[in-house]
Amino acid sequence: MPKFVVQSVNARTGEVMHNMDDYGVEEFETHEEAEDFRQVCYEGFSAGAETLKLAGRDYTDPEDVDFIVTEID
């Protein structure tokens, strides 16, 4: 049975930037679970970027990052 992981990728190049399992997030049993977590990642990333922007600090624009679900064996 396949498993799924969430990855952050450069929205312009498609290059994988991070596997969310690098941050202690395990593999997901279903695509739906991974998709739910993908949404949480994007929302958290966007909120963090907004906070950094308001604080006048450097940040990565959320439009430059996509979170994708990838099937693994």
- The per-residue pLDDT for range 18-28, each reduced to its tens digit, is 887 666 677 99
**Which burial class, exposed, middle or buried, applies to 62 when counting CB atoms under 10 A from its CB (0-12, 13-18, 19+)?**
middle
Residue 68 lies in a domain: yes
Residue 46 lies in a domain: yes
Count of the separate structural domains present in the chain:
1
Residue 70 lies in a domain: yes
DSSP conformation class of 20: G
Residue 72 lies in a domain: yes
Handedness of CA 17, 10, 16, 4 (dihedral sign): positive
Residue 69 lies in a domain: yes
Residue 18 lies in a domain: no
Q: Which range marks the domain in which residue 63 is found?
A: 32-73
pLDDT digits (tens, 9 = 90+) for 31-61: 999 999 999 999 999 999 999 999 999 999 9
Residue 51 lies in a domain: yes
